[in-house]
Copies of this chain bind each other. A is one copy, B any other.
Amino acid sequence: MQKFCSWYKPILTDSGGYQIFSLADFNKITAEGFHFKSHLDGSKHFFTPEKVIGIQRDLGADIMMVLDECAPYPCDYDYARKAQVLTFEWAKKSQDAYNSSSNPHGFQQALFAIVQGSIYEDVRRESAEQLIELDFAGYAIGGLSVGEPKEIMHNITALCTNILPKEKPRYLMGVGKPEDLVHSVDKGIDMFDCIIPTRNGRNGTVYAMDGPMAIKNARYRDDLTPLDEHCQCYTCRNFTRAYLRHLYIAKEILVLRLLSYHNLFFYM
């Protein structure tokens, strides 16, 4: 995959567990895996924990994720418990599949587990402790940033990082806004993934030290300052808010790249 994309840096692939949740209308879940109907072409697929490991092996991911079930928010205690138990069963199957296979491309591939349990502290704790027993290369916290209040997200994150081993990567999935990153790093998180800097960039939201701004706002029409006066990114070194707003209003696709680039630079 590195060669296909011409991306010679580490690649992490997710298992598809999140899509069980986000595309729930198209899916049916069983103890063995989940039935997935493509929203693109209607084709049907059945994904098992083992099959998902095989696919990630073939893709050549540097970090692979176990198949998990991400409970929606809100969800009742019983559902959260059921999803956590299934996620643990799948984690064991994933690990077995991982241990009994090898990378067809020859380099080492790591497998990370995913802690689930919705907003219920004892379920989260049990999920984390059981997965630690299996000794994965890294641990993710899934099932957050799905609509729950910020405070709950922060508390559950702290609860998990307190249990998960400090010497291994702790990865908060699908987070988040700049302030969430700062907060989570403070709680011990090492890794994130999120579409916010690029998707919101494409939609005209710019992140800066003074908080987010909507570039289409009329107040920037004649504003000849950069997006963020302290930023040294390509966009800020070369273009003004007025020009970027002009591109955005005129639907020039250049602006999608310039705003995404700035946001990524700001996040880094």
Interface residues, chain A, CB within 8 Å of chain B?
4-6, 238-240, 242-243, 246, 253, 256-257
Can you show 11 pairs from A to B with CB atoms below 8 A apart? A4-B240, A4-B242, A4-B243, A4-B246, A5-B243, A6-B238, A6-B239, A6-B243, A253-B253, A253-B256, A257-B257
**Given A4-B240, A6-B239, A253-B253, 8 extra CB contacts under 8 A:** A4-B242, A4-B243, A4-B246, A5-B243, A6-B238, A6-B243, A253-B256, A257-B257
Contact residues in B for A256 (Cβ distance below 8 Å): 253
Number of copies: 2
With a cutoff of 8 Å between Cβ atoms, the chain B residues found around residue A246 in the complex are: 4
Closest to A237 in B: B6
A240 / chain B contacts, CB cutoff of 8 Å: 4
Least CB separation from A202: chain B residue: B253
C-alpha spacing A53/B14, complex, angstroms: 58
Q: How long is the Cα–Cα vector from A10 to B240 in the complex, in angstroms?
A: 20
CB closest chain-B residue, reference A4: B243
Q: Complex: how many Å from CA A227 to CA B6?
A: 15
> Closest residue to A239 on the B side, CB-wise?
B6
In the docked arrangement, what's the CA distance between A257 and B4, Å?
A: 17
- Given the complex, which residues of B lie within 8 Å of A5, measured CB to CB? 243
- Of all A-B residue pairs in the complex, the 5 with the closest CB atoms, nearest first, are A6-B238, A4-B243, A6-B239, A253-B256, A253-B253
**How far apart are A97's CB and chain B's nearest CB, in angstroms?**
27
Could you tell me the distance between the alpha carbons of A170 and B165 in the complex, rounded to whole angstroms? 72
Complex alpha-carbon distance, A257 and B254, angstroms: 9
Identify the closest chain B residue to A235 (Cβ): B6
